[in-house]
């Protein structure tokens, strides 16, 4: 089912966010397939040795995002939608871009300087990929 979730007490994020991130990533990379059942809220809480409320919050948020679907009495499954993985990555990219823009503003960087730095980072990554081949 859904073993392998690891929660860290030293991670500054709440546990429900850690659960959400790990489930999102597993859906995005295809480890969890559309229609695949997830453990019940109680099962996962026992497995992770945390509160049922924490798991319930993670599941509710994932359902709001369209990552999972829950039917009363039947449990939760990975939601239908062929683009689930790409949607997850799109959201993640948007979140990181917002953070980059916020940090650039704190540093007083204009949009041209930010664009230059993004291009430089992309060029570096391309070079690294070329060297690997």
pLDDT digits (tens, 9 = 90+) for 42-68: 999 999 999 999 999 999 999 998 899
Residue reference for tokens 């070329």: 130
Domain chopping of the chain, boundaries: 15-78, 84-132
Q: Say what the pLDDT of residue 50 is.
A: 96
Q: Say what the pLDDT of residue 89 is.
A: 82
Neighbours of 81 (CB within 10 A): 14
Residue 62 class from Cβ within 10 Å (0-12 exposed, 13-18 middle, 19+ buried)? buried
CATH topology of domain 15-78: Arc Repressor Mutant, subunit A (1.10.10)
Q: Please give the model's pTM, rounded to 2 decimal places.
A: 0.70
| pLDDT exceeds cutoff 60 at 82 | no
């Amino acid at each position: 089912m859904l073993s392998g979730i690891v929660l860290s007490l030293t991670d500054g994020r709440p546990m429900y966010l850690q659960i959400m991130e790990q489930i999102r990533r597993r859906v995005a990379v295809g480890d969890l397939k559309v229609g695949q059942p997830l453990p019940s809220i109680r099962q996962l809480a026992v497995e992770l040795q945390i509160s049922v409320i924490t798991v319930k919050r993670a599941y509710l948020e994932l359902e709001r995002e369209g990552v999972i679907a829950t039917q009363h009495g039947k449990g939760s499954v990975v939601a239908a939608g062929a683009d689930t993985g790409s949607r997850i990555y799109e959201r993640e990219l948007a979140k990181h871009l917002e953070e980059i823009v916020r940090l650039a503003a704190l540093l007083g960087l204009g949009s041209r300087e930010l664009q230059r730095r993004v291009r430089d980072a992309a060029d570096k990554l391309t070079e690294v990929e070329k060297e690997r081949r």
